Amino acid sequence: MTHSAHFKCVDSNGIKGLGDNQYSSEAWDIPSEDAEKLVGGNVYFHTTKNDKSYFGGVVTKYEVMEIDAAHTKRIKIYLNATKEAKEQAWNGKDHGMAWYSGIIEN
């Protein structure tokens, strides 16, 4: 079983190209258990929950980051971009303040 997740990410904030179609996205405030489930699955990035995804791909690994002493640890996601990850509708948690769909079992 694979997993996926949708993220609200305005203006590609925190998404960086690493070359060879590989990217990273940081600094997400999600549990490391969720990040572990996403390895091998897909992530989708949206400007708003009403807009289809503008970017995404298959998660290859993740890393726990510490921003500073005042903040909790954050997650950096590494992914291989895919065209199939574009134009996907938001799925998962969609209440007004949701910026993360939660883990979706595929």
| Rounded distance between C-alpha atoms, residue 90 and residue 106, angstroms | 14
| Rounded distance between C-alpha atoms, residue 91 and residue 24, angstroms | 22
Q: Which domain holds residue 40?
A: 3-98
Domain count, the chain: 1
pTM: 0.93
pLDDT in tens, 43-85: 999 999 999 999 999 999 999 998 776 667 899 999 999 999 9
Does 58 map to a domain?
A: yes
Does 104 map to a domain?
A: no
β-bridge pairing 104-105 and 3-8: antiparallel
